[in-house]
Amino acid sequence: MEITWYGLACFRFKSRQLTIVADPYAPELGLTLPNLRARVVTISHDVPGHNYLKAVKGYEHVFDGPGEYEVNGVFITGVATYHRGKPGERERNTAFLYEFDDISIGHLGDLGATLDRKQIEAMNSPDVLIVPVGGGDILDASQAVEIITELEPRIVIPMHYAQPGLKLDLEPLEKFLKEMGTGAIEPIPVLKVRKSDLTGDETRVVLLESQGAPA
């Protein structure tokens, strides 16, 4: 399994079974995506930072809401959650759980509210959890850590934080690393992960280099 980050909340998950792109963003956000190709695209929140389908070529399926889906032996579950806002006025967000043959990945999308017990159970303790940490209209560092504690993944990848060129007022990554009690971590271009890498009880933070360039 290869996991690549393109900035903000956009990721590509590539395995022998299937390639999925999550949350492609529009260039008006200040970043430019490279040419992406995938059979499946998932959209957590129907706004330009997460729904720019024009960035992806060759897709056959788009999943943008709650439900259970299956493509080429990969099971995808969309879990109804919320973007930040007043109770009763919150916009919908869909968190996704991708279950490949031997690795499960949770992508929380544009999540702005902590999860309730039913949502936590639906996310099913993924091996790899991708979580927004930049505050504003989405989770801040302390809320992200609260969810990580509940879901107990083996690997955490932070996303949706301040980065060069991005036209959003987000908090820096360092606030999240401090909340996690983690020192400096060297980012890597791509995370290549196997089931054998997911042993032990400790949660490990992995930082990815953004492959999206400033516009």
Render 5-29 in DSSP notation, one character per residue. E-STT-EEEE-SS-EEEE----GGG
At 87, the pLDDT band (50, 70, 90 cuts) reads low
Q: Specify which residues 67 forms β-bridges with.
A: 78
Residue of 137 and 68 predicted with greater confidence: 68
What pLDDT does 86 receive?
60
Q: For residues 180 and 140, is the Cβ–Cβ distance under 8 A?
A: no
pLDDT per residue as tens digits for the range 105-155? 999 999 998 999 999 999 999 999 999 999 998 999 999 999 999 999 999
**In the predicted model, is pLDDT for residue 50 greater than 70?**
yes
Q: Specify which residues 20 forms β-bridges with.
A: 13, 40
Instruction: Indicate the average pLDDT of the chain.
Output: 94
Report, as an integer, the average pLDDT of 174-194. 94
Report, as an integer, the average pLDDT of 163-186. 94
- Give me the DSSP letters along 120-161: HHHHT--SEEEEE---TTS--HHHHHHHHHHH--SEEEEES-
Q: Which pTM value belongs to this model?
A: 0.96
Q: What topology is assigned to 2-214 in CATH? A: Metallo-beta-lactamase; Chain A (3.60.15)
What pLDDT does 85 receive?
62
Using DSSP's 3-state secondary structure scheme, residue 176 falls into helix
**In the predicted model, is pLDDT for residue 89 greater than 80?**
no
Which phi and psi angles does 150 have, rounded to 5°?
Answer: -70, -40
What pLDDT does 200 receive?
80
Contact residues for 161 (Cβ-Cβ < 8 A; gap 6+): 132, 133, 134, 170, 171, 172, 173, 176
Tokens 């992995």 — which residue?
Answer: 206
**In the predicted model, is pLDDT for residue 160 greater than 90?**
yes
What pLDDT does 12 receive?
98
Q: What is the DSSP letter of 193?
A: -
